[in-house]
């Protein structure tokens, strides 16, 4: 035995206090929960791809069939094509928009920023519906595009609308963290504006640009609602999964397409993590924040640019709202609220909306609790590296998994005859669980970031004072992290409200959600009612977000007096 090995054997192991034992048990439970809601469903999906319709193992036969079916393989190419095109358009637009917000002096900056976020509150089929109104067979501007809107063009425009806020948010953050001293140094050295832009601004935002591009690309590849509504005969991966599973009941082929869909999303995710890891210490503690000074020419240009973008977003939203209020498009343009009487077009009526509210509230409540307590356990438990590593991996996994793919995995896993959790199938609970799992990563990251910003010695102090950890969690950690906790809850609520792809396979007749109902109504040809339901969803999520902002300003102001100096 080598000396080092001998020493390692002798290494002191501290006996565990009751607190530490409880925390380790908590980490194990968390790992099990994540395994059930993320790991095992994905495993079931993977396994399903190697089985035939009767559940017999057939090796790579399904994959061979997939790649030798031109129609299916073309969808993959289509997906890549439209995702690449959207990325090329959205990223520069979002970059200049973010640049305007952070580096120019704009009148009503908050208004521009607010408008740019609107698409986040809408289900992805909303821009599709609006485009049908504008450019469809009976649209105002039919023929303006030189061809039918259904297909590549329609998907592209709708995706640009849908992805814009995500890219803009990432780039605004990237550009907001600039060090004024670098610009002063460049000015002092007599660099031209263009040179400053290319040597200071762009490199500073480099990682943000890569990140934004990857996010947009993944969003487009994995989105289902837009392609469903306005894709026409232009097949993409996401619609293929749907067709294989719902249309042809070919679960094995659905699983294969799901895996093909998973690949680019997972790849983009891995690249993004690698890139993020490189981004450290861009902004040191001593950096001086850059504050834009008024400059007429530049400010006018960017105000015009932002106005244009905002008008574009409002036009699409406005078209959906208007369409939902019109009696009989395009023949009778008088206004009516009839389209909001959903009972006429869908047996569930407004019930699907109530279901959505229940599901979103449930996901926000249980998801936030699980994510925050989970992140805390994983951050604050000492040693126990293997189990904490497993939790970390499982917590990151959902980010790389498209909702459609996770939903498919849920069918295979929870609906399996031998599964003791089978009773969850076709209940509201499984929708909540699926939403929590699907959006787990962002919540986990938000909580972890907030926890990392807290002094790491709080637990040491508590231990020295013989105060149990849960008490410090309740009295100190959770109150300090209240803003982050609210952020997570709102994020979960809004996303659960608007998601289509992750729940499309999981609802039962009595748990149908508003976003799915809108899709079904649209499929039945009732475009106006579908738009109306989308508008209701937008109003709900935007209202919740507005409440959140108010709460942040006033409620937290009162609760968190201690933040003031």
Partner 1 sequence: MSYLEVRNLTKRYGDFTALGDVSLDVGEGEFVCFLGPSGCGKTTLLRAIAGLDPQSSGTIRQKGRDMSALPPAKRDFGIVFQSYALFPNLTVTDNVGYGLVSRRRQRAEIVRRVDELLALVGLTDSGPKYPAQLSGGQQQRVALARALATSPGLLLLDEPLSALDARVRLRLRHEIKALQRKLGVTTIMVTHDQEEALTMADRIVVMNLGAIEQVGTPQEIYRRPATAFVADFVGSMNFLSGTLAAADRVRVNGHDFACPLQDGLAPGTAVRLCIRPEDVRVRDLPADAVNRVAVDVAELDFVGAFCRATLRIRNAADMVMTADFSSNLIRDLGVEPGRQLDVALPPDRLRVFAA
Which residues are at the interface with partner 1 (CB under 8 A)?
7-8, 10-17, 19-20, 455, 457-458, 460-468, 471, 475-476, 479-480, 560-565
The torsion defined by the Cα of 486, 487, 490 and 492, in degrees rounded to 10, comes to -110
Least Cβ distance, residue 279 to partner 1 (angstroms):
25
Least Cβ distance, residue 458 to partner 1 (angstroms):
6
**How long a stretch of residues is the chain?**
565
Q: Output 16 or 357, the one with its CB closest to partner 1.
A: 16
Tell me which residue of 254, 265, 264 sits closest to 412, measured CA to CA: 254
Least Cβ distance, residue 461 to partner 1 (angstroms):
5
Q: Output 211 or 462, the one with its CB closest to partner 1.
A: 462
The count of other CB atoms within 10 Å of the CB of residue 152 is 18
Least Cβ distance, residue 8 to partner 1 (angstroms):
8
Q: Output 13 or 56, the one with its CB closest to partner 1.
A: 13
Angle ∠(342,346,349) on CA atoms, nearest 5:
45
407 within 8 A of 503, measured Cβ to Cβ: yes
Least Cβ distance, residue 484 to partner 1 (angstroms):
14
Q: Output 35 or 551, the one with its CB closest to partner 1.
A: 551
Least Cβ distance, residue 20 to partner 1 (angstroms):
6
Phi then psi for 179, rounded to 5 degrees?
-100, 115
Q: Output 272 or 459, the one with its CB closest to partner 1.
A: 459
Q: Output 295 or 475, the one with its CB closest to partner 1.
A: 475
| Alpha-carbon separation of residue 541 from 37, 41, 340, 379 (angstroms) | 25, 29, 17, 31
Tell me the pairing of strands 332-335 and 326-328: antiparallel
> Could you tell me which residues come within 8 angstroms of residue 252 by beta carbon, excluding any fewer than 6 positions away?
48, 49, 51, 52, 53, 62
Q: Output 189 or 561, the one with its CB closest to partner 1.
A: 561
Least Cβ distance, residue 179 to partner 1 (angstroms):
24
End-to-end CA distance of the chain, in Å?
Answer: 59
Q: How far is CA 5 from the centre of its chain?
A: 47
Tell me which residue of 92, 60, 356, 377 sits closest to 216, measured CA to CA: 92
Tokens read off for 478 = 């959770």
Least Cβ distance, residue 551 to partner 1 (angstroms):
17
Q: Output 396 or 458, the one with its CB closest to partner 1.
A: 458
Return the bridge partners of 26, or none: none
């Amino acid at each position: 035995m080598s000396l080092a090995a001998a020493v390692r054997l002798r290494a002191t192991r501290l006996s565990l206090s009751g607190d530490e034992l409880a925390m380790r048990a908590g980490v194990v439970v968390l790992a099990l929960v994540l395994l059930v809601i993320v790991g095992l469903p994905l495993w079931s999906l993977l396994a399903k791809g190697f089985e035939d319709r009767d559940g017999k193992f057939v090796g790579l036969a399904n994959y061979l069939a997939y790649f030798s079916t031109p129609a299916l393989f073309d969808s993959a190419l289509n997906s890549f094509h439209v995702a690449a095109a959207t990325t090329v358009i959205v990223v520069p637009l979002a970059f200049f928009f973010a640049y305007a917000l952070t580096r120019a002096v704009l009148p009503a900056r908050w208004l521009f920023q607010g408008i740019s976020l609107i698409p986040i509150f809408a289900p992805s089929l909303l821009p599709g519906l609006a485009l049908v109104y504008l450019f469809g067979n009976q649209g105002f501007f039919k023929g303006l595009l030189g061809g039918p809107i259904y297909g590549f063009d329609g998907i592209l425009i709708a995706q640009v609308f849908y992805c814009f806020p995500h890219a803009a948010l990432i780039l605004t953050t990237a550009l907001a963290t600039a060090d004024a001293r670098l610009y002063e140094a460049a000015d002092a050295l007599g660099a031209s504006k263009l040179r400053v832009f290319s040597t200071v601004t762009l490199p500073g935002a480099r990682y943000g640009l890569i990140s934004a591009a990857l996010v947009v690309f993944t969003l487009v590849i994995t989105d289902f609602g837009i392609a469903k509504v306005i894709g026409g005969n232009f097949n993409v991966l996401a619609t293929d999964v749907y067709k294989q599973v719902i249309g042809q009941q070919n679960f094995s082929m659905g699983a294969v397409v799901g895996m093909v869909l998973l690949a680019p999303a997972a790849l983009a995710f891995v690249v993004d993590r690698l890139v993020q890891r490189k981004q450290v210490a861009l902004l040191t503690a001593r950096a001086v924040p850059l504050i834009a000074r008024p400059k007429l020419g530049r400010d006018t240009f960017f105000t015009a640019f932002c106005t244009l973008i905002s008008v574009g977003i409002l036009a699409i939203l406005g078209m959906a709202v208007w369409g939902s209020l019109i009696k009989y498009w395009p023949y009778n343009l008088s206004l009516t609220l009839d389209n909001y009487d959903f009972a006429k077009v869908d047996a569930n009526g407004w019930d699907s909306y109530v279901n959505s509210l229940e599901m979103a509230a449930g996901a926000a409540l249980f998801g936030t609790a699980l994510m925050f307590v989970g992140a805390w356990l994983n951050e604050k438990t000492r040693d126990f590296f293997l189990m904490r590593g497993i939790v970390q991996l499982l917590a990151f996994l959902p980010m790389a998994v498209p909702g459609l793919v996770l939903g498919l995995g849920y069918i295979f896993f929870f609906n399996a005859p031998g599964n003791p959790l089978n009773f969850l199938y076709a209940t509201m609970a499984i929708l909540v669980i699926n939403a929590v799992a699907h959006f787990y990563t962002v919540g986990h990251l938000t909580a972890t970031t907030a926890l990392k910003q807290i002094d790491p010695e709080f637990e040491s102090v508590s231990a020295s004072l013989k105060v149990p950890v849960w008490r410090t969690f309740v009295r100190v950690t959770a109150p300090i992290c209240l803003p982050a906790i609210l952020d997570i809850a709102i994020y979960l609520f809004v996303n659960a409200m608007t998601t289509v792809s992750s729940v499309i396979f999981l609802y039962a007749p009595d748990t149908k959600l508003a976003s799915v109902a809108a899709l079904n109504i649209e499929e039945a040809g009732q475009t106006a009612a579908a738009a109306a339901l989308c508008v209701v969803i937008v109003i709900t999520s935007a209202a919740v977000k507005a409440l959140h902002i108010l709460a942040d300003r006033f409620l937290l102001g009162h609760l968190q007096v201690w933040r003031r100096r």
